[in-house]
């Protein structure tokens, strides 16, 4: 059974759960477009460990993959091609990664197999400009798998979450265009634009790895999403998703 089929089935179940909540009296999504962002959706921020010694794919057997996501598994972005952030353990170089994205109807709209990076730590994957852009106010489910055994995909180390693209109003657009990166970070946080805030802060830290104020902001952000194990996580290289 293919990985995309498994994730599509899970996507359908997740959507059914949201509909069931509405029937039971939860806020209607038609009347409250922020209901999903508040309530969250099913996901997995921390993978399991590699189970089989014969197919172990990380040097420390129980070290997981961690997705940098809020605890409710969904965040918003202004970007049509956002960046996703993960903490990767030391994966054996003969393994592969797989990234995929499903649209709101559960259809796979992007999938890419990737080489394992040489560096461990916090890693960026940016949806390439050649990919179909995210539509405003639609929810998309993404996943990242470390493929430990191609013959048994149930052994993958998997994290998965959701992203919603939103549109900035004219005031926010004007403020962002006139702001420094630090000011943009504050605006993204205030506007609850998770992916944009995380990407901005991560890029600032890459450029200034020894800045104590950025380290403090990073730790505050990781504490806010209950991932204190990433306080001292190193930053690895970005993983290239380009289709060219």
- Look up the CATH number of the domain holding residue 71: 2.60.40.10
Indicate whether 110 belongs to any domain: yes
126 within domain boundaries? yes
Q: What is the residue range of 92's domain?
A: 3-168
Which residue's structure tokens are 């960046």? Answer: 83
Could you tell me if residue 58 is inside a domain?
yes
User: Over its length of 244 residues, how does the chain's per-residue pLDDT go in tens digits?
Assistant: 455 545 454 444 443 333 233 322 222 333 344 666 666 678 899 997 655 555 568 877 678 899 999 999 999 999 999 999 999 988 888 899 999 999 989 999 999 999 888 888 899 999 999 999 999 999 999 999 999 888 888 888 999 999 999 999 999 999 999 999 999 999 999 999 999 999 999 999 988 888 999 999 999 999 999 999 999 888 877 887 765 4
Among all chains, which residue has been given the structure tokens 């946080």?
A: 189
The answer to whether position 219 is within a domain reads no
Asked if the structure places residue 204 within a domain, the reply is no
* 76 bridge partner residues: 164
Contacts of 168 (CB under 8 A, 6+ apart): 78, 176, 191
Q: How many domains does the chain have?
A: 1
Give the separation between CA 152 and CA 30, rounded to whole angstroms: 40
Angle at 150 between CA 81 and CA 235, to 5 degrees: 45
Query: 114 has which bridge partners?
Result: 97
79 token code pair: 């970007």
Q: Is the residue at 67 inside a domain?
A: yes
Q: Three-class SS of residue 124?
A: strand
Q: Answer whether residue 203 is part of any domain.
A: no
In a domain, 231, yes or no: no
């Amino acid at each position: 059974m293919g990985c995309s089929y498994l994730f599509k089935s899970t996507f359908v179940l997740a959507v059914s759960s949201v509909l069931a909540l509405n029937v039971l009296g939860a806020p209607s999504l038609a009347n409250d477009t922020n209901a999903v962002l508040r309530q969250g959706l099913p996901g997995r921020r921390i993978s399991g460990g590699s189970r089989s010694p014969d197919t172990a794919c990380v040097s420390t057997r129980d070290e997981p993959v961690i997705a940098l996501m809020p605890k409710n598994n969904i965040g918003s972005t202004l970007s049509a091609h956002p960046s996703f952030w993960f903490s990767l353990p030391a994966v054996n170089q003969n393994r592969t990664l797989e990234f995929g994205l499903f649209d709101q109807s559960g259809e796979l709209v992007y999938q890419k197999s990737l080489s394992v990076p040489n560096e461990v730590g916090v890693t960026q994957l940016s949806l390439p400009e050649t990919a179909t852009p995210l539509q405003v106010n639609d929810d998309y489910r993404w996943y990242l798998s470390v493929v430990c055994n191609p013959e048994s995909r149930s052994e993958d180390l998997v994290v998965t979450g959701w992203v919603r693209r939103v549109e900035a109003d004219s005031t926010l657009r004007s403020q962002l265009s006139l702001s420094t990166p630090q000011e943009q970070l504050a605006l993204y946080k205030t506007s609850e634009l998770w992916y944009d805030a995380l990407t901005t802060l991560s890029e600032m830290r890459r450029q200034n790895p020894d800045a104590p104020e950025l380290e403090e902001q990073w730790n505050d952000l990781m504490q806010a999403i209950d991932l204190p194990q990433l306080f001292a996580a190193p930053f690895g290289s970005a993983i290239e998703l380009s289709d060219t």
